[in-house]
Structure 1
Amino acid sequence: MRKNSIKNTRINGEVQKELSNIIRNEIKDPRIGMMTSVTAAEVAPDLKTCKVYISVFGNDEAKKETIRGLKSAEGFIRRMLAKTINLRNTPELTFVLDESIEYGVTMSKLIDEVTHKEDKKDEENEEN
């Protein structure tokens, strides 16, 4: 994979910020959950496509509905993005569910459980 240039990194950040604002303030679709956030945006160097990573707080059904709602509003979101960001091309958006935050929380809980068990074993050994 190619390393992003400074310009591309800046565009990614700006697109991510604007998409967050559009999803939070402009879209009125009830399928899109209130706790939806844009975790990353990867715009291709030719500005033709953009992968948008979405994190949704809720159960699996809420996540699926949010992605469906975003895909159906893709044209509107792209049009709003074109109005707010002056790019040569407005990228075609692809929404991807980002579960890395949940994975991190799960792993953190597992690590806490293991360290808690180790602490209990140490305490029992000290008592004996």
Structure 2
Amino acid sequence: MSKNRFNDGPGPSNRQLRVGELIRRTLSDVLNRGDIHDPELNRMSITVSEVRATPDLKIATVYCLPLGGGNRPEAIAALKRNKHELRRALGKEMTLKYTPDLRFVIDETFDRMDETRELFARDEVRRDIEDDAPDGDGE
């Protein structure tokens, strides 16, 4: 029987995490400096929140969000359109054997956090949470 039978397998390796963070910082710098020759992309302020690399480091999924959360389809389209130039910029600044292929995805984390806050703010949920709270009298 496998040790990891109840989860999806081991998490990312330290190397994947280090490379992902290096790509995240480098991409953020490239986008902030406006190094890409696309005026539409340079007009946008895009936050790169996370990068997940595959075990072989050949593909990097970039989780990003335009500032304010608006214009999501336009931001992803601009990033995809400039994927090759972004990869080239990464290759110049990083010392990896292979520059990974970039996949751009909208980061939904902030939306989920807002939904969770709204859920906890509901009267019936707050009432249930308060009913489940320990009284402090040892019972």
In structure 2, the partner of 1:33 is 44
Identity %: 26
Runs (5+) with no aligned partner, structure 1: 119-128
List, as ranges, runs of 4+ consecutive aligned residues in structure 1 with deviation greater than 6 Å.
none
- 1:42: how far off? 0.9
* SS of the residue 1:30 aligns to: helix
Contact 2:16 2:57 in 1 (8 A): no
By relative contact order (CA 8 Å, sep 6+), the higher-ranking structure is 1
Counterpart position of 1:45: 55
Question: Relative to 1, partners in 2 of residues 1:8 and 1:116: Cα closer, same or farther, differing over 3 Å?
Answer: closer
The within-5 A match list for 1:52-71 is 52-56=62-66, 57-59=68-70, 62-71=71-80
Does the alignment pair 1:4 with 2:15?
no
Q: Residue 17 of structure 1: which of 25, 31, 37 is its match?
A: 25
What RMSD in Å do the two structures reach over aligned CA positions? 2.1
- CA distance 1:116–1:4, change in 2 (3 Å): closer
Q: Provide the rounded CA distance (Å) in 1 between the counterparts of 2:104 and 2:32.
A: 15
| TM-score scaled by length of structure 1 | 0.78
Post-superposition offset of 1:115? 7.4
- Please identify which structure carries the higher helix content: 1
How many residue pairs align between the two structures?
115
- Pairwise CA distance, 1:107: 2.0
* SS state at 2:90 partner: helix
